[in-house]
Structure 1
Amino acid sequence: MHPDDGLAREGRSPGDGGAEPFAAPFPESAAGLVKGVAGGPPGPQPEAGAEAEAEDARPSWWIYQGTGRPLTGASLGELLPPPPPWRRFQGTPVLPPPPSDDEEIERRLGRFAQLTTTSRQARREADMVNAALHLRRPLLVTGRPGTGKSALAYRISRELRLGRVLRWHITSRTTLRAGLYEYDAIGRVQDSAALRAREPEAGPPQSAGLTPNGRTVNGGSGPPAGYTAPGAGDPLPGIGDYVQLGPLGTALLAHEAPRILLIDELDKSDQDLANDLLSVFEEGQFAVPELVRVRRREPRVTVMTDDPHGSADVVGGVVHCRAFPIVVITSNGEREFPPAFLRRCLRLRMPDPDRSQLVDMVAAHLTRSAVSGPGTEDLITRFLQRSRERGGLAVDQLLNSVFLATSGRLTEGPEEYGPGGDGTVGDRQEALQELVEALWHRLDGAEEEAGPG
């Protein structure tokens, strides 16, 4: 029985020695925050001046600072303390560091720009990310679509220099096996048949002293120069060429430093998937039955991974974790998850970004001049207003509108805009405003109320 299970039935948390309250393995500030996220009463609210003064006083136990500045001078493996005893894994063989993917991270987050302020939400986010790091637990991030839940995984990877993010996008048909591995049995059978078809039907002539299978008979002098017995140069394909680990399976390989795994939109899955994940998260390992079946003949098999051109050795048909991955699970709240699953996750609610966060995002994805350009401040103000009126809008809707508005292409030239337009600047500005309003459509599928006339 896992140590968490008995403690949960007694109403206690891991680490309890008796009737004493939960003794967190990190400082009091984080323990209080975890309690608040779980539904407990929040601590006393600081004065406005005290909060501003404490913005730059980040707790010493934080590894992930939430500033956007990549880690320098040390690696995560050097900074990360040992895990709790019940979350310790010793998988082998150890793999080299994963490939970097700066291009994809920049596409998701924009150019690197260090954050100059730390809001209350940013501190809460950093607290929960660091708690997940220390406890080796998945982080369940909930919130409306378009609030930046998935981007958190890329921010963690950029700041902690953890390389490529393993992304597992969930649909209603996704199964646990799809995340762990895929075995192409049909492809292996087809390749085997193709190799057999390439074997010649007959060997060299009997006068050479060979049987059709290439063996010497009757004192023959042996095969002619350059002769190869049928199939000798084309062995049957190895099973490892037809096994590819999925994002979850790759994250659970024996990495020295944790990988980043993004499980995106888990609430879209079949209701059993969350329960199926429990065993993998708790045990930190999984078996590949096709490799277990051949482990006597092939105890060590090289398989493909989810990384581009990546491969890894699997010993005995079982993948063993070493450093538990940093798992970011996102949910738009379309359905609830079972209590057993929630108990094993840390939870973070992602609110709508405020004005300063939107300014930082626009500057990162476009340019700082785009933020200070004509009309951008007004666009951000109107976007926040429309977001409140329309039940919440996505950040990319703002980025699309700012990109069009600051490109200059829609407000240049003599072309007419709209019925009866005379191509004046006023007409083009009005057409741009109408286009922006169309980009900011509701995300819940509801139709806008028709205006008068």
Structure 2
Amino acid sequence: MNEWLIYRGSGVPHDDIDSLPPPPPWRQFESMSPPYETDLAEVYQGPTAARADRYIVDQATLDMVNTALYLRRPLLVTGPPGSGKTSLAYAVAHELRLGPVLRWAVTSRSTLLDALYRYDVLGRLGDAQLNGAAEIGSFLRLGPLGTAMLPARRPRVLLIDEFDKSDVDLPNDLLEIFEEGRFTIPELVRLEDVAAVEVGTADTRRASVVRGQVSCRAFPIVIMTSNGERDFPPAFLRRCLQLQLPQPTRDMLNQIVQAHLGSWSERSEELIEAFLRRRETIELSTDQLLNAVYMAGSLQAHDVANRAELAELLLQRLGDVEL
């Protein structure tokens, strides 16, 4: 039944991304640049690896993530705080061995150019005054979106976090990038006598850009998170797939606590009950439950009064829930 799944939510790294079928004809991309090939499988072994392989995923999320993989479309993930929106990107990158997540944390001041590249023109002028001619590539650095668009054989995972905080024009600004899978660096296009320039990347590497064009070979796995605080333009939504993450059920909460805290989860039943009762009237996140269970496990077993008091302190309202 699930034989078509590439991402299976197991947390066990594998190379099945290489068996992903070709993209639809309207989502095929070409690049004039040499392949950007770097073995990233060994890089993604830091603290976020533990966070990723403990991620609990339901069938609806599995289906939508894999549909995005097959169609090479961005995934807009909406859900309440603590529902696992951000962690989903790390779980996909970890299981599919796609290297560290490229993260773009969006604010109201974020622009498309911020995510594509930065050019330190003042630094280059200063270096030229001191040392003569300065190589422009030393002063150009691709941002997370720019790095994700490099012509790698395997797609990178790009997390666009809290996208609903963006300026009203940013979703429309992204349309051409998402449709074409490429962008231009004007500062390099002007260099008529230089075919290729090595620039920095968001993950502190170097990449070759030919004639100022950055074009992907494999469209990145784009996961955009939203708290549902605003609507997006229809033209933007048409180019995305949408996933609504629900509040974790009792069973999922048990699995989450067990995955993160192991034997300490034996003391979680009472706290999960309190969490579910309070969540009916106030907004809570799963992180708060994990904090409460951890503190309960840190206290002496007989210290019931302190455990109950700590639960009250930790399960505080994030915001009013509309009933």
For the superposition of Structure 1 and Structure 2, which TM-score range results when normalised by the shorter chain? over 0.9
**Deviation readout 1:408-437 (Å, 9 max, x if unpaired):** 2xx49xxxxxxxxxxxx6xx5323322221
Q: Is the 8 A contact 1:113 1:364 kept in 2?
A: yes
Q: In the TM superposition, what whole-angstrom CA distance separates every residue of 1:92-139 from its partner, at most 9, and x where no partner exists?
A: 311113532221423533xx4597xxxxx7111111111111111001
In the alignment, which residue of structure 1 is the partner of 2:318? 443
Give the alignment partner of residue 194 of structure 2, picking from 272, 293, 298: 298
Which residue matches 1:351?
Answer: 246
Supply the distance in 1 between the matched residues of 2:195 and 2:64 (Cα, whole angstroms). 40
- Tell me which residue corresponds to 1:156: 92
Structure-1 residue corresponding to 2:26: 86
Deviates more, 1:315-324 or 1:98-107: 98-107
Q: CA offsets per residue over residues 279-315 of structure 1, 9 Å max, x none? A: 0000110001111112x122100000011x3110000
CA contact (8 A) 1:157 1:164 kept: yes
Aligned residues of 2:55 and 2:256 also touching (Cα < 8 A)? no
Q: Tell me, which stretches of 5 or more residues in structure 2 are unaligned?
A: none
Q: Within 2, Cα distance between the matches of 1:85 and 1:103? A: 37
Give the aligned partner of residue 97 of structure 1: 38
What secondary structure is seen at the aligned counterpart in 2 of 1:102? coil
**Equivalent residues of 1:69, 1:114 under 8 A apart:** no
Cα deviations across residues 1-20 of structure 1 (Å, max 9, x unaligned)? xxxxxxxxxxxxxxxxxxxx
Tell me what 1:381 maps to: 273
User: Which residue number corresponds to residue 7 of structure 2?
Assistant: 64
Residue of structure 2 aligned with 1:131, choices 63, 67, 72: 67
RMSD (CA atoms): 1.9
- Alpha carbons 2:36, 2:152 under 8 Å: kept: yes
Task: Give identity over the alignment, percent.
Answer: 50
- Aligned 8 A contact 2:9 2:55 in 1: no
Alignment partners' CA distance in 2, 1:260 and 1:379: 35
Per-residue Cα deviation, 1:167-194 (whole angstroms, up to 9, x for no partner): 1110010000001001111111122223
After superposition, the C-alpha distances for 1:384-427 in whole angstroms (9 at most, x for unaligned) are 2211221x31111111111111112xx49xxxxxxxxxxxx6xx
Partner of 2:212: 317
**Separation in 2, partners of 1:335, 1:114:** 27
CA, structure 1 residues 337+438, in 2 after alignment: closer, same or farther (shift >3 Å)?
Answer: same
Aligned position for 1:417:
none
- What SS class does the counterpart of residue 150 from structure 1 fall into? helix
> Which ranges in structure 1 are unaligned for 5 or more consecutive residues?
1-57, 116-120, 196-234, 413-424, 447-453
Higher relative contact order (CA 8 A, sep 6+): 2
| Equivalent position of 2:233 in the other structure | 338
Distance 2:166 2:200 in 1: 26
Partner of 1:327: helix, strand, or coil?
A: strand
Counterpart of 2:162 (choices 254, 261, 265) is: 265
- CA drift of 1:67 comes to 2.6
Structure 1 counterpart SS, 2:63: helix
Kindly tell me the number of residue pairs found equivalent between the two proteins: 318
Q: Match of 1:69, as an amino acid?
A: V
- Cα gap change, 1:114 to 1:189, in 2 (>3 Å): closer
Kept in 1, the 8 Å contact 2:281–2:320? The answer is: no
> 1:190 aligns to what?
126
Q: CA deviation at 1:356?
A: 2.4
Change (3 A) 1:384 1:445: closer
Using structure 2 for the length normalisation, give the TM-score.
0.93
Q: Matches of 2:206 and 2:298 in 1, distance apart?
A: 44
Cα separation, 2, equivalents of 1:332 and 1:144 = 6
**Is this contact kept in 2: 1:153–1:165, CA < 8 A?**
yes
Match of 1:214 in 2: none
Partner residue in 2 for 1:397: 288
Larger radius of gyration: 1
Q: Does 1:241 align with 2:184?
A: no
Cα distance in 2, alignment partners of residues 128 and 181 from structure 1: 30
